Amino acid sequence: MLVTGIVLSVVGLGFFCWLLFALAIYALPFLAGLTAGLAAFDSGGGVMGTFIVGFLVSGATLALGQIAFATSHTLLIRAIIGLLYAVPATIAGYQLSFALAGLGMSRDGWQMAFAVVGGVLAGFTAFSRMALFVASGGQGTEGAHSPIGWRPHDQRR
């Protein structure tokens, strides 16, 4: 019984950490949805209206960001859009990693090191998820699958 409790505790903590890390990546859409939801609640939208507005704004923020990232042809614009999503994710990942590292160690350099690594990983993951949308079929990605520009419809013989 003791072994089962320990195993389930470790699995539960691992799942909780994975869930929080996955949610930290979507920090910008969450913040936009939260802000719009609070504005809707303040204007008298009620509880259901608040959730509906928050979910719609969050989804629209994520979808419009991915579409803008995928359809832009300039590398600078893609970098700016990617950083708009990666910087809040980095901050959220840092704060989350700092809090989780504080559970298991004293407040010193190691906690800060784990927090920095967690923040950087969250930022890279958020940026790579934006770039993944482009590689899977965005506009303006001719030759994106190969460094030499080969595309499946090029049948050179």
Any idea what DSSP says for residue 59? H
Cα–Cα dist 149/146, whole Å: 5
Please name the residues in contact with 129: beta carbons below 8 A apart, sequence gap of 6 or more. Answer: 25
Please name the residues in contact with 40: beta carbons below 8 A apart, sequence gap of 6 or more. Answer: 49, 50, 53, 54
CB 126 within 8 A of CB 89: yes
133 confidence band (pLDDT: 50, 70, 90): low
For 32-56, b/e burial (b = at least 16 CB within 10 A) is bbeebbeebbeeebeeeebeebbee
Does position 139 have pLDDT exceeding 70, yes or no?
Answer: no
Does position 38 have pLDDT exceeding 80, yes or no?
Answer: yes
φ and ψ at residue 66, rounded to 5 degrees? -70, -40
Q: Tens digits of per-residue pLDDT, 71-123?
A: 888 889 888 988 988 999 899 889 888 888 888 777 788 888 888 998 898 88
56 confidence band (pLDDT: 50, 70, 90): very high
